[in-house]
Amino acid sequence: MVKLLIEAFLLAMRQLRIKKVRTLLILLGISVGVAAVVGVTSLGEGIRVNAVEEIQKSHDLTLIEVSPGLSNGNIILITESKVRAVRESGSVVAPYVKDAYVTSNKTYFEVNGISAEYMDAKNLQLETGMWFKEGTYQIVLGSDVGEKFSKIEGAEIGNSIDATIRLYGEEGRAIDKDITFIIAGRLKPTGTDTDTDDQAFIDINVARELTGKDVYDGIMVKLDKSSQAPGARTAIEKLGLTCYSAQDEIDSVNKIMNGVTLVLAFFSGISLIVGGLMIINTMIVSVYERTHEIGITKAIGASEPDIIRMFLSECIIIGVLGGILGDLLGIIFSFLIDRVGRPMLIAQLGIGDFEHLTVINIQILVAGFLISLVISVIAGIYPAWRGAKLDPVKALRQL
Amino acid sequence: MYMVETRGLGKYYTFGSGNQVVALNDVNLAVASGEFVSIMGPSGSGKSTLLNIVGCLDKPSSGDVYIDDEKIDYGNAGSLVKLHRQTMGFVFQGFNLISTMNALENVWYPMYFNKIPKSERKERAEELLESVGLRDRALHLPSELSGGEQQRVSIARALANNPRLILADEPTGNIDSKTGGKIIDLMKKLNKEQGITFIVTTHDMVMANNADRVITITDGEIID
């Protein structure tokens, strides 16, 4: 059976060789279409990969930020029991509280009540001074807050800072509470994590005591590997809590770029329709030319499926060769976009921190190949059917 | 038992203007197994049409055809293909070899559609070419062969699937009388030695004289 199939292709091959120029032109037609799709897709893929790499460089993909969830209009708070449940999902689980304070000079700043696990999860590093001692009003400032305090308040390490927090009583009455923090240290600027740079940090137990909170405002979950992130997220989201990680940004970049690439590929793929029409036209001419031969093959025992197979074999060969040729041209096309486009982008937009503008991967090449194959076969169906339906008597009469 | 039998066979063509042309009218014909029948008649008498209908290349307008006492179901494409593959072979006036295939390939082509493995096919095709005396021309294209040689290749092709019936439409019509004589001898030999039934349309008196029986058709009707 396999041997007969191979033979069918060899016979089809011979037909294509007889019509060399015509076959070559069809191949060119279909492969230019494939090359356009491959080239454009590689550009889209290149932009996507560069954007994702950019996100990965500045974000920790093993970190999940958990915040209170919302379900049917009810807020799901992070209670002790939720924290215990979350602990099963990550290697480092650091709950924290977050409050806004204002200095006597009306400088607002955000204070996170954190534990040692939080420092570990976020990899917080001191620039000067030391960490707060547990159970004290010592405070460690993020780099931006530190700079602000130094400029506005004139407060340096070792100085104290007077701050007020506004709490609300049971009847919604505002209660202002005054605290004096002592600046213990200052963090290194993270460069990318602006949240941390804008925050100050105190002992979590002190922070909770100050506000009287019995729930947490968030949890930092640190994983061993980024591959564990999806599983951990699902588990945490099942608890009704909300998750955020850099993966969200990557996902949205992927979504946007996939959409953009699809639209670009669609327009560049219009040339494939032309290629398909070329195949239909050529195959119809071929059926017409071989009418007499089809009559003979019917008389000597070929069935209608045999004739259809005969023509579709030719189309499959065209599709395979067109796909390979199209992929090769596509690689060249993509290389040219990279060579010409990248320096232009760097010169015009001043962005230059990427190695390649285009990315070719196996999926793009396989897709290009399959597009060529599918279009060739679809284009061959009608001509093949016409050949199979020829009246043998009329076909034999035609010379 | 008849190899071929037609009962009340008719073929009519109706043209746009409503004119009806009768190609065959009430043809009743019985050909015994192993018989060599020659059909004679002027051009346009309907003898080719008769051959095409018996050969399942065309459909009758009325009446039935029986092969091996079994009624042909012209609506069943599969059964017609089976008859082409197993029961009958064709020889045409214009040889009808496939121009892009050499003699050997032309002979094994029917076996290809019969799903016979390539080695077996090739062996049998060589034997058949040998039997028509063209072993040494096996790799020649039809265009490199004379008319007589081409017709012998097409007889070898007709024999490819061991048919019991060969339908030949003016097999000597396109070749000179001397070569034609050889073709007639070859067909007679196959008829005598292998018992293959032949139905041959012809204008050739030599062919007619060699037949077991001559049937004459005029205006789509058999004249006794």
Contact criterion met (CB below 8 Å) for B62 and B10: yes
* CA nearest to A88, candidates A192, A223, A218: A223
A231 is a domain residue:
yes
C-alpha torsion angle, residues A330, A334, A337, A342 (rounded to 10): 180
pLDDT bin (cut points 50, 70, 90) of residue A85 is confident
Are A227 and A314 in a shared domain?
A: no
Strands (E), chain B: 2-14, 20-32, 36-40, 62-67, 70-71, 88-91, 165-169, 197-202, 213-218, 221-223
Mean predicted lDDT score pLDDT of chain A? 88
Q: What is the pLDDT of residue A351?
A: 62
Are A67 and A208 in a shared domain?
A: yes
CA distance B53 to chain A (A): 10
Interface test with A, best of B109, B112, B116, B150 (most A CBs within 10 A): B112
Are A191 and A304 in a shared domain?
A: no
Domain-terminating residue out of A194, A226, A244: A244
Across A371-375, B41-45, B138-142, least confident range: B41-45
Residue A139, H or E segment: strand A138-141
DSSP-derived letter for residue B203 is S
Residue A129's SS3 state is strand
Per domain, the residue ranges of chain B are: 2-223
By Cβ distance, the residue of A14, A301, A393 closest to B85 is A301
Q: Do B114 and A301 touch (CB under 8 A)?
A: yes
Total number of domains in chain A:
2
pLDDT in tens, A50-76: 888 888 877 788 888 899 988 888 888
By C-alpha distance, the chain B residue nearest A5 is: B115
Beta bridge partners of B64: B7
Q: Do B113 and A396 touch (CB under 8 A)?
A: no
For chain B, the maximum distance between any two Cα atoms, rounded to a whole number of angstroms, is: 55
* CA nearest to B153, candidates B169, B123, B133: B133
Q: Do B161 and A3 touch (CB under 8 A)?
A: no
Are A217 and A75 in a shared domain?
A: yes
d(CA B221, CA B29): 11
Chain A residues whose C-beta sits inside 8 Å of any chain B C-beta: 3-4, 7, 14-15, 18, 292-293, 295-304, 306, 392-393, 396, 399
pLDDT in tens, A216-269: 999 999 888 888 888 888 888 888 889 888 888 888 889 999 999 899 888 888
Are A261 and A381 in a shared domain?
A: yes
What DSSP string runs through A22-42?
A: HHHHHHHHHHHHHHHHHHHHH
pLDDT at A353 over 70: no
pLDDT in tens, A206-224: 998 888 888 899 999 988 8
pLDDT bin (cut points 50, 70, 90) of residue A352 is low
Are A49 and A67 in a shared domain?
A: no
Cβ-based neighbours of A1, under 8 Å, separated by 6 or more: none
Q: Do B117 and A298 touch (CB under 8 A)?
A: no
Q: Do B96 and A392 touch (CB under 8 A)?
A: no
What DSSP string runs through A41-105?
A: HHHHHHHHHHHHHHHHHHS-TTEEEEE-EEETTEEE-B-HHHHHHHHTT-SEEEEEEEEEEEETT
Domain-terminating residue out of A201, A219, A244: A244
pLDDT in tens, B136-146: 999 999 999 99
Q: What is the pLDDT of residue A329?
A: 96
Are A169 and A225 in a shared domain?
A: yes
Are A235 and A101 in a shared domain?
A: yes
Are A91 and A41 in a shared domain?
A: no
pLDDT bin (cut points 50, 70, 90) of residue A195 is confident
Q: Do B90 and A15 touch (CB under 8 A)?
A: no
A369 is a domain residue:
yes
pLDDT in tens, B84-130: 999 999 999 989 999 999 999 999 999 999 999 989 999 999 999 99
Residue written as token pair 């009808």: B96
Q: Do B84 and A300 touch (CB under 8 A)?
A: yes
Fold observed for domain B2-223: Rossmann fold (3.40.50)
Percent of chain B whose predicted confidence (pLDDT) is above 70: 100
CA atoms within 13 A on the CB side of A27: 21
By C-alpha distance, the chain B residue nearest A294 is: B98
A258 is a domain residue:
yes
d(CA A350, CA A365): 31
Amino acid at A35: A
DSSP-derived letter for residue B33 is T
CA distance B117 to chain A (A): 8
By C-alpha distance, the chain B residue nearest A395 is: B57
d(CA A366, CA B150): 48
CA distances from B170 to A129, B150, B161, B217 (A): 112, 14, 22, 14
DSSP-derived letter for residue A4 is H
Q: Do A300 and B90 touch (CB under 8 A)?
A: yes
Identify all chain B residues contacting A299, using CB atoms and an 8 Å cutoff: 55, 57, 84, 90, 96
Beta bridge partners of A64: A221
CB pairs under 8 A between A and B: 58
Domain-terminating residue out of A244, A261, A292: A244
Amino acid at A92: V
Contact criterion met (CB below 8 Å) for B183 and B91: no
Identify all chain A residues contacting B84, using CB atoms and an 8 Å cutoff: 298-301
For chain A, the maximum distance between any two Cα atoms, rounded to a whole number of angstroms, is: 109
Q: What is the pLDDT of residue A39?
A: 92
Are A134 and A233 in a shared domain?
A: yes
Interface test with B, best of A300, A306, A393 (most B CBs within 10 A): A300
By C-alpha distance, the chain B residue nearest A7 is: B118
* CA nearest to A329, candidates A34, A80, A67: A34
Are A219 and A292 in a shared domain?
A: no
Are A97 and A239 in a shared domain?
A: yes
- Which residue segment(s) compose the domain that A218 sits in? 63-244
Q: Do A297 and B113 touch (CB under 8 A)?
A: yes
d(CA B5, CA A76): 90
Mean predicted lDDT score pLDDT of chain B? 92
Q: Do B84 and A299 touch (CB under 8 A)?
A: yes
Q: What is the pLDDT of residue A238?
A: 86
pLDDT bin (cut points 50, 70, 90) of residue A42 is very high
First CA to last CA distance, chain A: 33
By C-alpha distance, the chain B residue nearest A18 is: B100
